[in-house]
Structure 1
Amino acid sequence: MKLTGREKTELFLEGIVTVILLLMLNLSIIILINQSIHTNPGLRDGIFIIKKSILIGPDHYHLWSWENIFITLMLVFDAAVVYWRLIRRYHQMQLRHIISELHYIANGHLDHRIGFKLKGNTQSVVESINALVDSVIKSMNEERAIESSKDELITNVSHDLRTPLTSILGYLGLIQDKQYKSQEDLLKFTQIAYLKAKQMKSLVDNLFEYTKVKQTGTPLSINRIDLSQMMEQLVASFELEAGKNGLQISAQGTDQPLYIEADAEKLGRVFNNLISNAIKYGKGGKHIYLTCQVGQPNEAVVHVANDGPEIPKQSLNQIFERFYRVEGSRNKDTGGSGLGLAIAQSIVDLHGGYIAVTSENQLTTFAVHLPFKHGDRLSRPDDLK
């Protein structure tokens, strides 16, 4: 920290004034002691005896001048006082500079940091202030991101609800105004309104599920689950639907049961969403592969892969964002609600795991990494962050 010219002058004057005051104090003390000695013969004789009895060095010099000893001690004391006063004033100047920097930051210069390199506790204060400002900035950015996320959520939900609602109102309006020509038209209009209402209910259900799993402290019903057996059950559940879409679904587990501690219902929701996506976007492919295996120590890995179209590279980093759709439209016929993968990621995160995705010409694979024991948390590799 550099002192200004005014502060240097202030320090110099502080030293001069302190020296003058101390010299006056020393002189006063010497005069008082001399007067006391001259007016008190007993004290004078006692001092003489003490001087005569004190011998210094191998040659046994007598200490005759007490004034020199006293003056030397007083000079040492004076130097210590001057140093203490100057250091104290210098620390006050440091704090004044720190306060000035704080006012500068508080006036809106939030990217500014105190760059002083000081010593002792003062440097700790500077580092604590900088850390506090960083924390405040981080909190403000997170709050802005949350507000922006809320606005985006409202916009997306409003759009996704308005589209089927408009259709429902339109077809019900036609029915109310009797603008149908036959019983077949009436059934057609009610069928479309019913399907659009189901579409709205699906979105609301997904939205409710997403907000529920995103809440901190969401309770989990933990049980011991055999992943190999779960894969076989998933194949049986989706075999018919996959067949209707020209896909063959198969599972390959381990030779022995692969047990983990997890919430079976929520974990089932994860794999249901991943398999549904594989069926929806795997058109053109022939297979959906489910595999489970032991990964790193204390880690199970489940792969949900399909040989359908490749996911664009620019979409891989955004694919787990809520309402994001790879096809870039808001068409429910292909895109769904856009919440399935976000829900899956949130559930896996609740279990202490993570999901990674890779997509190449021949295979798109979602790898679900889960800890064996509930309460453990897996670290995502740096190349996947």
Structure 2
Amino acid sequence: MILLRVSLKYDKDTVWIYGAIFFMVLFVFSFLVLQYRIERFIYNRIKKIYDDVALLDAPSLANQPIATDMETLSRKVKKFATDKKLEIEMLQVREHYRREFLGNVSHELKTPLFTVQGYLSTLTDGAFEDKTILKKYLDRAEKGVERLIYIVEDLDMISKLESGELNLEIAEFDIVELIQSIVDMLEMKASKKNISLVLEHNNKPMWVAADKDKLQQVIINLIVNSIKYGKEGGETEISVTGFTSKKILVRVTDNGEGIESQNIPRLFERFYRVNKSGSRSEGGSGLGLSIVKHIVEAHKQKIYVESEYGVGSEFSFTIDRASKKR
């Protein structure tokens, strides 16, 4: 009707101009309405994807602005999927280690417990009347109890080191003197396997700042390990050298059986044993290297391992030099 009235009032050219304007306005209006509807449709669909992802506990993704660009969305979802995959794989690894750790704890505690139970049960069944057997069985039961106490104390120390409850008492002392006293103390143990303990240094005191008792435990554990896995007639060398102007490096090197490469990453796990059958017969709680790692890291230092199977191993760690020059 509008076009008809215009056509009666104006000439043909004017009618065409008004008609073109009308259709252009109608086209723009229709385009905008359609674009809005399509964008809302896409937005709602994409928002549903974000909401579905949010159900999987992805706050980092859910809190981001919703992008209607498919490439951006695809990149975000792909990154989310990759992160979740890595998280799931890590949880699976941790679950495997957890089960293995619980199995190891059970085995380590069960062995001395059953030993003690066996000897005490034998005594209560009437063997206590024989004084010779009584003393022998009580001595063996006592050793089983001592092993239990040793394991529990080591676990307690690791727990305290991990939680930061075990405070370090930092003091300045000569580490060469400390290592020499440890070597003297362990010489008899090493002599049973005809292993020589050699301390290499520059014949000068080397003063460090550390917790002396804890550092002594680190060095003892490393040397005892080298003796335990060393070969008959072998040698363990302990060396103390300058690492940087502020740090000293302590090395414990042996020419024993060495460690296969696949075992090295897990050496410092609790109860992890390279030789699962033979190492238990050597005694120990299976926590020695784990304690070593935690004590070294509590000092904010690093521990390193180099080993070649059939050739030998080297454990080394850094420690801060004393602030005062002596």
Q: Structure 2 length as normaliser, TM-score? A: 0.72
Mapped partners of 1:343, 1:120: distance in 2: 53
Q: Which residue of 2 aligns with 1:31?
A: none
Q: Which residue of 1 aligns with 2:308?
A: 359
Q: CA deviation at 1:275?
A: 1.0
- List alignment gaps of at least 5 residues for structure 1: 1-26, 28-67, 375-385
For 1:301, what is the secondary structure of its paired residue? strand
Matches within 5 A, 1:282-301: 282-295=230-243, 298-301=246-249
Does the C-alpha gap of structure 1 residues 101 and 285 become closer, same or farther in structure 2, counting only changes over 3 Å? farther
Identity, % of aligned positions: 24
Match among 185, 194, 199 for residue 147 of structure 2:
199
Q: Which residue of 2 aligns with 1:307?
A: 255
CA shift digits 1:299-341 (9 cap, x unpaired): 4321111222333344333322221222222763225322111
- List alignment gaps of at least 5 residues for structure 2: 3-16
CA shift digits 1:43-92 (9 cap, x unpaired): xxxxxxxxxxxxxxxxxxxxxxxxx9xx99xx99x97x999877766664
- 2:305 and 2:313 in contact (8 A); partners too: no
Mapped partners of 1:127, 1:297: distance in 2: 48
Match among 80, 104, 116 for residue 168 of structure 1:
116
Indicate whether 1:267 and 2:215 are aligned. Answer: yes
Mapped partners of 1:94, 1:230: distance in 2: 73
The more displaced of 327-336 and 83-92 is: 83-92
Q: CA deviation at 1:195?
A: 1.1
Q: CA deviation at 1:228?
A: 2.9
Does the C-alpha gap of structure 1 residues 243 and 330 become closer, same or farther in structure 2, counting only changes over 3 Å? closer
Mapped partners of 1:335, 1:214: distance in 2: 25
Q: Which residue of 2 aligns with 1:213?
A: 161
Indicate whether 1:185 and 2:133 are aligned. Answer: yes
- 2:259 and 2:312 in contact (8 A); partners too: no
Mapped partners of 1:259, 1:126: distance in 2: 59
Q: Which amino acid aligns with 1:294?
A: G
Mapped partners of 2:210, 2:44: distance in 1: 57
Q: Which residue of 1 aligns with 2:178?
A: 230
Q: Which residue of 1 aligns with 2:317?
A: 368
Q: Which amino acid aligns with 2:103?
A: T
Mapped partners of 1:150, 1:297: distance in 2: 41
Mapped partners of 2:173, 2:68: distance in 1: 56
- 2:260 and 2:307 in contact (8 A); partners too: no
Mapped partners of 1:98, 1:255: distance in 2: 73
Mapped partners of 1:90, 1:302: distance in 2: 70
Does the C-alpha gap of structure 1 residues 239 and 335 become closer, same or farther in structure 2, counting only changes over 3 Å? closer
Q: Which amino acid aligns with 2:181?
A: Q
Does the C-alpha gap of structure 1 residues 232 and 148 become closer, same or farther in structure 2, counting only changes over 3 Å? same
Q: CA deviation at 1:289?
A: 0.8
- 1:289 and 1:304 in contact (8 A); partners too: yes
CA shift digits 1:163-191 (9 cap, x unpaired): 11112111111111213673222211111
- 1:327 and 1:335 in contact (8 A); partners too: no
CA shift digits 1:251-291 (9 cap, x unpaired): 12245544444333222221111111112222413321100
For 2:184, what is the secondary structure of its paired residue? helix
Does the C-alpha gap of structure 1 residues 148 and 312 become closer, same or farther in structure 2, counting only changes over 3 Å? closer
Indicate whether 1:329 and 2:277 are aligned. Answer: yes
Mapped partners of 2:241, 2:120: distance in 1: 52
Does the C-alpha gap of structure 1 residues 205 and 97 become closer, same or farther in structure 2, counting only changes over 3 Å? same
- 1:252 and 1:292 in contact (8 A); partners too: yes
- 2:264 and 2:305 in contact (8 A); partners too: no
The more displaced of 190-199 and 120-129 is: 120-129
- 1:354 and 1:370 in contact (8 A); partners too: no
- 1:345 and 1:355 in contact (8 A); partners too: no
Q: Structure 1 length as normaliser, TM-score? A: 0.62
Does the C-alpha gap of structure 1 residues 360 and 333 become closer, same or farther in structure 2, counting only changes over 3 Å? closer
The more displaced of 363-372 and 286-295 is: 363-372
Q: Which residue of 1 aligns with 2:10?
A: none
Q: CA deviation at 1:369?
A: 3.5
Does the C-alpha gap of structure 1 residues 331 and 261 become closer, same or farther in structure 2, counting only changes over 3 Å? closer
Match among 94, 102, 107 for residue 159 of structure 1:
107
Q: Which amino acid aligns with 2:143?
A: L
Mapped partners of 2:271, 2:164: distance in 1: 21
Mapped partners of 2:40, 2:247: distance in 1: 57
Q: Which amino acid aligns with 2:275?
A: E
- 1:251 and 1:289 in contact (8 A); partners too: yes
Indicate whether 1:250 and 2:198 are aligned. Answer: yes
- 1:248 and 1:288 in contact (8 A); partners too: yes
